Structure 1
């Protein structure tokens, strides 16, 4: 029982970190220098480029997200073409480098800069532009030149602004919320997930007085692993377009298969080898630490079975405009996912509920839960097609 306070303390600390992150984000969005009103910063680069992210973070901190347009190469091939045209037109270097930042003031380009510079260097560049009143060009070697020709300025403007709208799909928090919550509910009643519940029950039956600490360690490990895997899936789905139709198709397919499986009598699709691994780990869960290891193992081996709703949710989260909003919904999703685990643990630990009865109820209702999960997924598909 000595482990219980420390686990709750970890959850409290994690929640506090999330709240602090939101607070810091709101402070960071407030303009902190004079080059904001009337200014727009177009950043050409890649999301995986540290220098590009550094430049975006710095400029966002100084002016706010509404003044930043990040032209991600992998999201739109047109951006790559624009970048190459600018590089060749302005003779920015022999080797292509990123980020490339084009600064507009009142719809006119005033600065083109290659590289990741700090705030003080940017102030110097703005001062040069103010003194020279032309198009300031900072090439890949850091050399500064000024273009005074109106034709050059017009050509840069045409390249940057005279293109089609970005193909990157963005979804608002209000649009994403019902999809993510629906997927979480479908996942929480998924019979595959109840294999996790069975593992918890077996641990509880075998550990006697260590039910609370061992069970909490097991649940916390599952939560942490699913959160980490969800974080990775969000990064992957960021690069995939037409996400609305992909999500709708996934939800329709997984939902239909779930309903058919439930009506025919649910049979676990988990490979026998994976089941053997799970059972082996459960037998070794004699304390909170080993129960946590079991939770990690179970999370990985069950993902192919429980992954349908999670793929749908993380695909939607990847298209939210704010990463912090995506992170918050990922936290909520996984809390819903593990909520039945907490309820079962509470029933066993405080109400002395017979584990045999819980297991019998679970076995009888597997088909029904599979049908419910499928209905929720199909509802998500219809919502995506007709309301988004």
Structure 2
């Protein structure tokens, strides 16, 4: 596999050494994206109300929660594989990688805007999809809960898609398709760690209420941090192409 090196004076930048830490960091940050995080808390609150009088309450909550998170995981993996496969098939230059870098920067700046200019977020789950997601969640069946996860996975792309796109652009520059897919799996495992952590803590109603309050009160700050990371990722990709 060809190593891509950029020389600046006597400094050599090897993107190979950046891949693993960037994939891990980006995945963890994406796990805190306001769309998936907010819907998970909504899902937990609703499920707690449905199951609170059952003897197997905690088991039921963990079960449906993991099914929901699995729906997000599978959807994100398939989206990533689709984009990476398309880039690997059609791209013979670094044009797609550069485009991914620029798009990541633009989306990051839009997210940061929500911190400095409060208002309706431009990058959010479409309002028309809220009812559909809620309907899937209320079914509390395996297909229904998994379907809710799939919908959230699709609809959260506008929230944090810049991070994912930047990572895919990075992988397309230096990895074979198989290596890229393995990195995508790692990315998405990192992505669900915060969601699983929230789920594990959700057996305590007071903890859930505190998380809901924290998430509601820090939406703008979360968007600022995620947007800043998107911009940084975009510049990293443009630097190594």
TM-score band w.r.t. shorter chain: 0.7 to 0.9
User: Which whole-Å CA distance do the structure 1 matches of 2:171 and 2:40 have between them?
Assistant: 27
User: Which whole-Å CA distance do the structure 2 matches of 1:283 and 1:177 have between them?
Assistant: 38
Match of 2:65 among 183, 193, 215: 215
2:134 aligns with: 279
Q: Contact between 2:15 and 2:240, CA under 8 Å: does it hold in 1?
A: no
What is the root-mean-square deviation in Å for CA atoms of aligned residues?
A: 2.5
Q: Contact between 1:185 and 1:373, CA under 8 Å: does it hold in 2?
A: no
Task: Extract unaligned runs of 5+ from structure 1.
Answer: 1-64, 67-170
2:180 aligns with: 326
User: Which whole-Å CA distance do the structure 1 matches of 2:207 and 2:160 have between them?
Assistant: 27
Q: Contact between 2:28 and 2:193, CA under 8 Å: does it hold in 1?
A: no
Match of 1:227 among 77, 85, 95: 77
Could you give the per-residue CA deviations for residues 343-378 of structure 1, whole angstroms, max 9, x where no partner exists? 1111012x5544222211110010000000011112
CA apart distance, 1:266: 5.9
User: Which whole-Å CA distance do the structure 2 matches of 1:306 and 1:251 have between them?
Assistant: 9
Alignment pair present for 1:195 and 2:48:
no
Match of 1:337 among 191, 198, 204: 191
Normalized per residue, the structure richer in strand is 1
Counterparts in 2 of 1:382 and 1:204: CA distance versus 1, 3 Å: same
Residues 153-164 of structure 1: pairs in structure 2 closer than 5 A:
none
CA apart distance, 1:178: 4.1
1:317 aligns with: 171
Match of 2:214 among 346, 361, 364: 361
Match of 1:304 among 144, 158, 164: 158
What SS does structure 1 have at the residue aligned with 2:174?
Answer: coil
1:136 aligns with: none
CA apart distance, 1:197: 2.2
Normalized per residue, the structure richer in helix is 2
CA apart distance, 1:182: 4.3
Q: Contact between 1:185 and 1:336, CA under 8 Å: does it hold in 2?
A: yes
Could you give the per-residue CA deviations for residues 26-56 of structure 1, whole angstroms, max 9, x where no partner exists? xxxxxxxxxxxxxxxxxxxxxxxxxxxxxxx
1:247 aligns with: 100
Counterparts in 2 of 1:385 and 1:251: CA distance versus 1, 3 Å: same
- The total of aligned residue pairs comes to 218
Counterparts in 2 of 1:251 and 1:186: CA distance versus 1, 3 Å: farther
Task: Extract unaligned runs of 5+ from structure 2.
Answer: 3-13, 52-56
Residues 119-198 of structure 1: pairs in structure 2 closer than 5 A:
173-198=16-41
Question: More relative contact order in 1 or in 2 (CA 8 Å, sep 6+)?
Answer: 2
Query: What TM-score, normalized by structure 1, do the two folds share?
Result: 0.51
The structure with the larger Rg is 1
Q: Contact between 2:28 and 2:190, CA under 8 Å: does it hold in 1?
A: yes
